[in-house]
Amino acid sequence: MALAQGNDAQRQMLQDAINRFWWPALMMFGPNDDNSPNSARSMAWKIKLHSNDELRQRFVDNTVPQVEILGMTVPDPDLQFDEASGHYRFGEIDWQEFNEVISGRGICNHERLAAKRKAWEEGEWVREAALAHAQKQQARSAA
C-alpha cells in the first residue's frame, strides 16, 4: 500500500513487481484442468476441493480489483470483465515457461539449487546436534 501511495519511482517499483509476478502467480495453480495429469484424481479423492481452473479464476477475480484500487494495471492486454458470467477473462498463460520451470530449467533454478545446497551444508550442525540428543535420550531410556 505504501508503494502505491509513494512517489513515481515507488509506484513504478510496484507496477514492475505486478508485471513480474502476474503470470507466474497464475501458473502456480497448475496446468489447465484439461492438461493436469493429477487433478481429476485429486478431486475424486477429495484431496482437492476446487480445480486448478476454478482456483485460478477466483484468484483473478479477487486480485484484479485490488490491483485497480492501488491504481496499477494487470499486465494482460486480453483482460476484461465479462458482465454475463461475473468473472474476468484473461489471456492465455505461457505454459512452455511453466514446463521449463518445473523441469528444472527455469531462470532461477541454479540460484535455487545453490541456496538449497548452502542451507543443507550450513544446517549440518543442527542435524548432528539433534541426532546426538536423540541418542542421549535413547541411552537414558534404556538405562
Q: Minimal CA–CA distance to 62: which of 34, 90, 84?
A: 90
pTM above 0.75, yes or no: no
| Mean of per-residue pLDDT scores for the chain | 93
Residue 9 has what pLDDT? 94
pLDDT at 64 over 90: yes
Is 44 within a domain? yes
Indicate whether 120 belongs to any domain. yes
Residue 1 inside a domain? The answer is no
Do residues 66 and 114 both lie within one domain? no
What pLDDT is recorded for position 91?
A: 97
Q: Would you place residue 95 in the very low, low, confident or very high pLDDT band (cuts 50, 70, 90)?
A: very high
99 and 117 co-located in one domain: no
For the cut 90, the answer to whether the pLDDT of residue 75 exceeds it is yes
- Helix ranges (H only) for the chain are 8-27, 39-44, 52-69, 95-102, 109-122, 124-142
